[in-house]
Amino acid sequence: LKIIQCENFDFYGSELIEDPKAFKKIRKVKLDCCVGIPTEFMKVLLQRAGENLRDLKVNGLPCFAEILQCCILYCHGLRSIETTIDKQHLDLFIGLLMVCKDLRDISVDDIKYDPLNAPTPANYIIDDDDEYFINRYSQRNPRSQIIDHTATEEGNEFLEKMAKVLPPYLKTFRFYLDWWFTPKALETFLEGANCENLETLDFSRCETFSEKHLNVVLKYCGGSLTKLLLCISKNISKEGLSKARKMIREIEFADDEEKFCDEYLREIQDREELGDPYLDFDLDPLNRVLEDELGFGSQYDLDLDLGELDVEDSFSDEESEDSDEVSSYDHSDDEESDGDYSDDGYSDDDCSDDDCSDDDYSIDE
């Protein structure tokens, strides 16, 4: 056994594996959204894996502090870590960085389960992106209030402390914390990092990340960084974003409305060829009003920028065209003998009882 991966798994027992050879070869541990996992089990697992453990992902576990302590003691060969932290245990994480000098990927979040309100199937939320059930609280999805989320924390101290102990080979840093920090604190952090090796920076949950922060990133790693993930595009001017895109290959925004606009325009372009006037997207309030009016057959006139649309007249024209088509129907064929469909090339002689049915004739009529 080399890999353990558990998502939303319920541990109801605390019985430990007695075999001393168990977990010796584990290289990757992923525990995401687990419920009731025994702390002692995690301690035994990490202690036995020891230097062989390369990849550790533990999100939302109440025992994350004990996990960090075990990693400091036994797991110095980590290459990647994704963990939950809080203000009370920052020193533990700093201590981990001091002993794990070979780290390439670092991801931190502030997801914590509320022990007084354990997750149940009733408050699970389906995460379409990760394709599994989660019960973590999200700022953008406040329906589930089962964990403590500190969205107003200050992150200056954390970044400044990390700057002194950052691993020299760090390639990816993901700051999944909605903590505010100053451009000066970010500058201190990047000064301590080996920016030549940095490839990805992720601040996609930092709503206070501004153009001043972006300028700091460009100053220190604009020539080497390949991917920058941010939260809100409106915090940055078009000129600043254009400048950044020339220096960083890929810049994405978690709440970027421009992507939705692009998808909306592509949908319009695709449907114009099909002549479908009704779109699934409700980007423009005017489109919603127009669709509602036309959908319910309103008799009102709508004055639009592109001209005057007389809904009543348009409906009357359509009705008159339909009536013309009905009145122009040629009944001369009705006088023909039964079963004679010479106009379409069909006759009774062409079909047997097994090959043709009454339904076929009714469709042709």
Q: What are the extents of the domains in the chain? A: 1-148, 152-255, 276-326
Burial class (CB in 10 A: 0-12, 13-18, 19+), 217: buried
Are residues 137 and 147 in contact, defined by beta-carbon separation less than 8 angstroms? yes
- State the pLDDT at residue 48: 93
Residue from 310, 268, 262 nearest 287 by CA: 268
Are residues 77 and 112 in contact, defined by beta-carbon separation less than 8 angstroms? no
- State the pLDDT at residue 14: 54
State which H helix or E strand residue 268 sits in. helix 257-272
- State the pLDDT at residue 268: 56
CB-based contacts of 55, cutoff 8 Å, min separation 6: 27, 28, 29, 30, 78, 79, 80, 81
**Would you say the CATH fold of 152-255 matches that of 1-148?**
yes
Backbone angle region of 142, left / alpha / beta, with phi > 0 → left and psi within -120 to 50 → alpha: alpha
DSSP state of 144: -
Rounded to whole angstroms, the Cα distance separating 141 from 322 reads: 50
What is the edge-to-edge ordering of all strands in the sheet holding 250-253?
Answer: 3-7, 28-32, 55-59, 80-84, 105-109, 172-176, 200-202, 227-230, 250-253
Name the CATH superfamily, with its identifier, for domain 152-255.
Answer: Ribonuclease Inhibitor (3.80.10.10)
Are residues 191 and 165 in contact, defined by beta-carbon separation less than 8 angstroms? no
DSSP-derived secondary structure for 313-334: HHHHHHHHHHHHHHHT---GGG
- State the pLDDT at residue 4: 61
The CATH number given to 1-148 is 3.80.10
Strands 105-109 and 80-84: parallel
Q: pLDDT digits over 334-346, tens only? A: 444 444 444 444 4
Are residues 139 and 89 in contact, defined by beta-carbon separation less than 8 angstroms? no
The stretches in the chain having pLDDT less than 50 are 114-151, 257-261, 276-286, 289-291, 293-316, 318, 323, 325-329, 331-348, 350-352, 355-365
Q: No. of H helices and E strands in the chain? A: 11, 17
CB-based contacts of 169, cutoff 8 Å, min separation 6: 102, 103, 104, 194, 197
Residue from 77, 12, 15, 18 nearest 46 by CA: 77
- State the pLDDT at residue 95: 96
- State the pLDDT at residue 314: 46
CB-based contacts of 161, cutoff 8 Å, min separation 6: 90, 94
Rounded to whole angstroms, the Cα distance separating 87 from 112 reads: 12
Per DSSP, what are the bridge partners of residue 147? 113
- State the pLDDT at residue 61: 79
- State the pLDDT at residue 83: 92
